[in-house]
Structure 1
Amino acid sequence: MELLDNQGKVQRAVPSVSLPRQAPVLSYDQELDLVQVEVSGQKVWLDSMTVRVEPPLHVVDLPCEKLIQNQAEDQQNNATIGFGAGCKK
């Protein structure tokens, strides 16, 4: 996992198992899409795409239950499609 500075530049990389499983988000930089957490007494920034934040940072204002759903499996590339954690249901 890459630990970043407040500009999004990599400071160092650490094994993800060395990071706490749950850490409160201290700050969120919407412009750079970074979250600040405390790791071993030090405040660091993480790319929000590399962590799971509960509740989600981005909630889509769509009526998900009314959207057309794809088949459970795509027969051509063996992928599944869903609306994701940010979909407000």
Structure 2
Amino acid sequence: MLEEIKITLRIDGSEEDIRLTSLVNSVKAEIKNSTSITVDESNDFHKTVITLMVMKYYDTELAEKLDPIINRMLVQLQYQPVEEV
């Protein structure tokens, strides 16, 4: 997950790894608290929501643009059927 986010944010090296890992963990907790859904990192939709939320918190200039998208995705996440394994 961390490497995918670094690619999306165009971050090289490991200087931001601790910050990004902290953001990922915070975002997962936020998703759980706001939707009662436990994030599944193998689910592409979940990964997209995490990535967008991390982008929002990492680069606050993107927040205004990303907020409506994230909000819609969080609503969709609440109504997404649980996949049988």
TM-score (norm 1): 0.25
Flag the structure with more relative contact order, 1 or 2, with Cα contacts below 8 A and sequence separation at least 6: 2
Q: Which has the higher strand share?
A: 1
Larger CA Rg, structure 1 vs 2: 1
